[in-house]
Structure formats: C-alpha cells, structure tokens
Amino acid sequence: MDTLLEVRDLQTHFFMTEGIAKAVDSTTFSIRRGQVLGVVGESGCGKSVTARSIMRMVRPPGHTVDGEILYTRPDDDGQSTVVDLLQLPATGTEMRAIRGGEIAMIFQEPRASLSPVHKIGDQIAENILLHQPVSQSEAEDIAIDMLRQVHIPLAEQRMDAFAHQLSGGMCQRVMIAMALSCHPSLLIADEPTTALDVTTEAQILELMQGLQAELNMAIMFITHDLGVVADMADEVAVMYLGKIVEQGAADDIFRDPKHPYTIALLESLPRMDQKREWLQTIRGVVPDPYSTLKGCPFHPRCADFIAGVCDEIVPQPITLEDNREVRCLLYTEHAHQDSPPVAEETGHQ
C-alpha cells in the first residue's frame, strides 16, 4: 500500500476562556497516493480543523498539541522520504515549500477565498512563482494554461479579472487552477461545492475527477454530503466529534457500514436534509466540544448503546477483516461481557 499521508493520533485543541475545545481529538487515518479519500461528518465535527492541521495553518487560540502527520515526500532521485509535518516549524521554509507546492488546498467559499483587490491571474502566478524557478512571464503563461485546464473560457482575458466579476463556480475553477498549478501530490478540498448550486456542483466535481485522474494526485475531499462521497471517493473516513469513527473502502462502507454512526448517516440517504432532523429529533444534538463525555463519544445518541460498557470505555480503533478501521465497542470482546474489564482496549495504533 503506497501511503502518501498518514495522520496518527492528531490532537488539535482550541484554548478558549470557556474551556478547551477538542476540535480534533486523537484522529487517525491515512491517504494513499493518487486516491480520493472522502471525509464526512456533521457540521462542527472537526473536518476543517483536521485539514488545517495538516497544512499547519491552525491559528491561535487553536494549537496542534500532539500526534504525527507523516508525509511521504518524493526525492529528486526517485526515492522518497517520510517527514513528520508536525516536527517542521509551521512558518518555516520547508513547511512553506510543501504548503501550496506539494499539498494544496481549496475552500468552501470560492469567491471569498480570492482576494477582492488582486487580479486572479496575479494570484495564480504568485503561487507558481513561490514554488517554481520561473520568470514572471513564464508564470503567467503557466497560469493561463491552468485556466484553460479548468475550462475557463477566454483564459487570457480572464487573467485580468477580479473575483467579483466571476460567478461562484468560476471562482472555484480559479481556485482549482491555482491549487493545481504546482502539481501537488495532495489536494485538500474543504467542502468545495457546498456553496454552489447543484448544476455547478456537478460540473466542478466532474472537473476534479478528470484532473485527479490526469495528474494522478490524491484528494482529501471533505464534505457532509454522502452522495458526493459515493461519487468521488475511493476511500471514506467518517468523523464524529474530532475522531474518525470508521475508515474503509468506499464500496465496503456503503454496502456494509459497521459503526452505528455510519449506519445512521447512511439511513438518511439520499435526503440529506432529513438526516439532520432524524438525528436531532430522535437522538439529540452533537455534544458541545467542551464536554468531557465518559466512554464512547457517540453513546448518548447511539442506537446500539450497551449500558455499562459504552458509557465507561473509550473505544479505540480496531481493524476488521476487509481492512476497515472502526471505533466501536460492538466489535470487541466487551460487547459479549457482562461487566466491563478494567483494562482498556489497546487496538490498532
């Protein structure tokens, strides 16, 4: 398995006056080279913070306090080395070379993500100049070429346009052109189509799929829309309250979800707006991130809750037969015991 990025036990907390919000709390997952990982979960579960942690872009009061982000970097001589991004200074030269050059990111609000006062051509060229040894005019040529690749008509004229002159879909195309201008090995897309209408969303998704295959890059595709994940992803990671509760091949997960939270999410397909209602009216809301819940974080809402077990023991990730990782006590020996053992499940780390 050709692993590109491996996140282990990532912990990013926000230190607020109200307390510590564990936005990302011991998250473990991995992304393979050239594959699309869909990350799904409800609003506030920590998807964006996970993405920003990988980019080392978490801003105070947020801090990544623990974990490893192992990124496999290709060398010049065809070999590769593994670096732990968390060991690099966040604003240092090396991390800045990776950020935008090897790992790029696009965001939820395409127009707001572009500067209102700079020409889009200059914004794309800036990224190229930061990471490639080219001249200003060469960078502009590459930028025009990128705009063509994302199917922006009249690419040359568009170089001088400003964000407010373009539609939301066009802005996201520009963002994609900018992100891909240095051929990153990983693109992090944080809900890139949430703000767009359905038709535009379909076009952007199609574009991303095409470019992904063409450039052979990996994508971490964050969304709360399982339908989009089914379309796009090779692998799926389901996130709940700062933790990945289930990760596996997309086909396996859609065919046979293991974690009760995944099952609940899938039952709400295809009507996503009903999902929220179902979960909220029947099972309450996501606990606030300051709470220190005992046992499994999902237990107040879980349909398969085992009294005396789930509210006592913190489930650890375990690997099932089809290479699936699940954080649920149902798949451990605790589910078959009358009284919980004192020792905690160690599981796969």
Partner 1 sequence: MREYILRRVLQLIPTLILISIVSFTIIQLPPGDYVTTYVANLAAAGEELSEEEIVALEAHYGLNQPGYIQYVKWITNFVQGDMGLSFYWDRPVNRLIGERLMLTMIMSFFTLLFVYAMAIPIGIYSAVRQYSLADYVFTFVGFIGLATPNFLLALIFMYIGIKVFGASAGGLFSTEYLDAEWSIAKVWDMLKHMWLPVVIVGTAGTAGTIRVMRATTLDEIGRPYVETARSKGLREGQLTMKYPVRVALNPILSTIGWRLPEIVSGTVLVALVLNLPTTGPLLWRALMSQDLYLAASMIMILSSLTLVGTLISDILLAWVDPRIRYGERGTT
Ligand X SMILES: Nc1ncnc2c1ncn2[C@@H]1O[C@H](COP(=O)(O)OP(=O)(O)OP(=O)(O)O)[C@@H](O)[C@H]1O
Which of ligand X, ligand SF4, Mg ion, none interacts with 224 (beta carbon under 5 to 8 A by kind)? ligand X
Interface with ligand SF4 includes 101 (CB under 6 A)? no
DSSP assignment, residue 86?
Answer: G
C-alpha dihedral sign at 52, 53, 55, 56:
positive
Nearer of residues 225 and 235 to ligand X, judged by Cβ: 225
Kindly indicate which of the ranges 112-120, 161-169, 208-216, 291-299 contains the residues binding ligand SF4, using the contact rule CB under 6 A: 291-299
Interface with ligand SF4 includes 195 (CB under 6 A)? no
- How far apart are alpha carbons 208 and 124 in whole angstroms? 18
- How far apart are alpha carbons 266 and 245 in whole angstroms? 14
Concatenated DSSP letters for 41-61?
A: --TTSSHHHHHHHHTT-PPTT
CB 83 within 8 A of CB 71: yes
User: Residue 237 Cβ, how far from ligand SF4 at the closest point, in Å?
Assistant: 16
User: Residue 311 Cβ, how far from partner 1 at the closest point, in Å?
Assistant: 38
Question: CB under 8 Å to 208, separation ≥6 — which residues?
Answer: 176, 189, 192, 219, 232
Nearer of residues 220 and 328 to ligand SF4, judged by Cβ: 328
CB 147 within 8 A of CB 155: yes
CA angle at 152 for the pair 148 and 157, rounded to the nearest 5°: 90
Q: Binders of ligand X among 44-63, rule CB under 6 A?
A: 44-49, 62
Interface with partner 1 includes 163 (CB under 8 A)? yes
- What tokens does 240 get? 């709940």
Among 109, 251, 252, 304, binds partner 1 (CB under 8 A): 109
Nearer of residues 30 and 181 to partner 1, judged by Cβ: 181
Interface with ligand SF4 includes 310 (CB under 6 A)? yes
Among 131, 176, 298, 345, binds ligand SF4 (CB under 6 A): 298
Q: Where are the alpha helices (DSSP H) in 22-167?
A: 47-54, 93-98, 120-131, 136-149, 155-158
Nearer of residues 34 and 44 to Mg ion, judged by Cβ: 44
Interface with ligand SF4 includes 302 (CB under 6 A)? yes
Nearer of residues 177 and 328 to ligand SF4, judged by Cβ: 328
Which residues of this chain interact with ligand X, rule CB under 6 A? Answer: 14, 16, 21, 23, 41, 43-49, 62, 224, 289
